[in-house]
Amino acid sequence: MKIGKLEEVDIRNLWKHEQYDFSEWLSKPENLELLNETIGLTLTDVNKEVFVGSYRCDLVAKDETTGIKVIVENQLEATNHDHLGKIITYASGLDAEVVVWIVKEAKEEHKSAIEWLNNKTTKDISFFLLEIHAYRIGESLPALKFEIIEKPNDFSKNMNMVDDVGLNRSQAERLTFWNEFNQAIVNNGKPFNVRKASTGHGYDIALGTSEVYISITLVNKENRIGLEIHISNNKNLFDRLFISSVEIEEKLGFKMEWQRLDDKKSSRIIHYIDGLDFSNHSNYPQLMDEVIQKATKLRDTFKKYI
CB 283 within 8 A of CB 219: no
C-alpha span between 123 and 120 (Å, rounded): 9
pLDDT in tens, 231-276: 988 999 999 999 999 999 999 999 999 999 999 999 999 999 999 9
C-alpha span between 278 and 282 (Å, rounded): 10
Beta strands 126-137 and 98-105 are: parallel
The residues of the chain scoring below 50 in pLDDT are 155-165
pLDDT (0 to 100) of residue 65: 66
Domains for the chain: give ranges and CATH numbers: 6-157 (3.40.1350.10), 167-302 (3.30.1460)
CA distances from 296 to 14, 175, 290, 293, 304 (A): 35, 22, 10, 5, 13
pLDDT (0 to 100) of residue 156: 38
